[in-house]
Amino acid sequence: MAYTVQTRTRASGIAAIIGAGVLMALVCLPLFASRSLIQDMFLILTMLVLAQFWNLLAGYGGLVSIGQQAFVGMGAYTLFGVVILGGVDPVAAILFSGIGALIIAVPTAFFAFRLNGAYFAIGTWVIAEVVRLLVAQWKTLGGGTGTSLPREATREMWFVEGIETLFGVRSAAARDILAYWLALALAVATIGGIYWLLRTRRGLALAAVRDNIEAAKSVGVDAVRMKWVVFLTSAFGTGLTGGLIYMQKARISPDAAFSVTDWTAYVIFIVVIGGIGTIEGPIIGVLIFFLLQSLLADFGSWYLMTLGVLAITIMLVAPRGLWGLLSERTGLHLFPVRRRLVAPKTSET
Amino acid sequence: MILALENVSKSFGALTVTDDVTFEVPQGQALGIIGPNGAGKSTLFNLITGNLRSDQGSIHFEGRDVTRVSAMERCLTGIGRSFQIPQPFEKLTVFENLVVAATHGRNLSEAAVLDECADILLRTELIGRANTPAGQLSLLERKRLELSRAMATQPKLLLLDEIAGGLTEGECQALIATIKDIHAQGVTIIWIEHVLHALTSVVERLLVLDFGKIIGIGEPDAIMGSKEVQEIYLGIEV
């Protein structure tokens, strides 16, 4: 008897090759792309990372949070704090952003894990608002009106000088290229990390808890620990992204950094239309989101209404999103996690 | 004694579902539990597995007090269960259902449990459905999955909740053979069942529950022959 387990499929093999090609092209993008394209790609990649982490939380962990802006804002303010007050290099400060987000994630979890479903969602939102109001009291970082990164810090940022000479561009453009590469690295690490998690036994446990928590506990799954792992991982990653976004912007205010629309509503839209509970979903979702944004940019509030109508339509017609619809029809999985038991070759079944 | 309950009680509001229950199960025994609907049989199971906490009394497993221990930890110490209404992880495949139980229930890696999970599926005749999502299974297959998943945690004490209900005679016989097989390996079994002939073909001792109270415990023949049990459980005026 020699049963084996297989997760790879032919489609995933092809996808991996294409993915590697796309990744190479994205790494080389600054060689031939315009500065505005680099800036757009930065936004797409950072929104993708936020969407992946919200998807990990809600789609895989069943924790529907609408308070992600707390971690974006906290990450961003931590970056500004350590750069302005501690004199840390902005690139190095991004790591502190993740830690800053963790510092509020721990007490948030103690409070929010006592709530379930809709109450959890509202709880996280309330906490995010509280954090925003507290940060707005912090006068050294500009209070309610916000502040900017000091010019010396951004000009002398790590790697910027190297990129200036390498591409023969000015400091501001070099900073955009650096931010883009960091966002690309973060996106690759996030997708790779989440895919790795789903393929371990913890990934199976997440799926089990989502399907039936009582049964999961009865077969030895530590459901509470799974919640903590997912919540803290998501907070850390969201904090890092927040730090990176505001390192690129170089200007911060509490209302922008803790915006529920920018950092949670759009993110939920991306995940829901793309396909919740899949890695492919947020990738498709973020592309559609940016397509719509550039098409409808001149229509003001009609833009938001269109997003809303589209989200509702997709939820009704295809509750598992566009990717869910596609993979249901075709059986296609670019990031397969299903473990298939393969019978020994000699036996005929 | 592998399991000992002492003065265990549980109420939901004004309704006492488990009323001062005391009994012991020796290592390796198969104990059957019978009683009318609503007698508190499944609640008793949930108290033993930790899915519910008792209001009063104590539960000892292998000499250790587990009264306040979580369901997850009780599984790790060796208490496995099936649910009366099958509770599969519907989006996972049959094989993955077993892998979750085997890896988390015993803290092992996926590679370490592969052969054993395949072996359990062979024994419970689910091997042909290994890669089917559990949500697509028939009732019989779901019941078999309940048993298979509990086996994957390698319990020392296995609690089976109405696993034979709704099956045909042939299906029932196959199930009995599997349960006898598990019992023969030294696993202690507590089995709630309405299908009496299935139950009595396996168990060595019977416990009768009514309104949350134990009204009889002993040899199956003696229990089934007692006047009180026949009146309450079978509804016969003797």
Q: What is the mean pLDDT of residues A305-332?
A: 91
Inter-chain residue contact A1 with B118, CB threshold 8 Å: yes
CB atoms within 10 A of CB A311: 16
Contact status, residue B215 vs residue B39, Cβ threshold 8 Å? no
Report pLDDT for B237.
58
By Cβ distance, the residue of B97, B114, B152 closest to A5 is: B114
Inter-chain residue contact B96 with A204, CB threshold 8 Å: yes
Q: How many CB pairs under 8 A join A and B?
A: 109
CA A27 to chain centre: 19
B9: enclosing H helix or E strand: strand B3-12
What is the band of B199 on the pLDDT scale with cuts at 50, 70, 90? very high
pLDDT tens across B116-168, in order? Answer: 999 999 988 899 999 999 999 998 899 999 999 999 999 999 999 999 888 88
The model carries a pTM of 0.90
The whole-angstrom separation of Cα B181 and Cα A328 is 40
Report pLDDT for B236.
61
The whole-angstrom separation of Cα A247 and Cα A49 is 16
Of the candidates A272, A187, A177, which has an alpha carbon nearest to the alpha carbon of residue A237?
A: A187
The whole-angstrom separation of Cα A113 and Cα A115 is 5
Inter-chain residue contact B104 with A1, CB threshold 8 Å: no
Q: What is the mean pLDDT of residues A52-58?
A: 97
The whole-angstrom separation of Cα A62 and Cα B212 is 36
The two tokens of residue A123 are: 């709880």
Residue A120, phi then psi, degrees to nearest 5: -60, -45
What is the band of A299 on the pLDDT scale with cuts at 50, 70, 90? confident
pLDDT tens across A147-206, in order? Answer: 999 988 888 888 988 998 988 888 889 999 999 999 999 999 999 999 999 999 999 999
| ipTM value | 0.88
Tell whether the model's pLDDT for residue A1 goes beyond 60.
no
Contact status, residue B18 vs residue B211, Cβ threshold 8 Å? no
Q: What is the mean pLDDT of residues B39-64?
A: 94
The whole-angstrom separation of Cα A206 and Cα A217 is 12
Q: Which residues in A5-32 are b (16+ Cβ under 10 Å) and which e?
A: beeebeeeeebeeeeeeeeeebeebbee
Inter-chain residue contact B87 with A340, CB threshold 8 Å: no
Kindly list the residues from chain A whose CB atom is less than 8 angstroms away from the CB atom of residue B104.
201, 205, 219-222
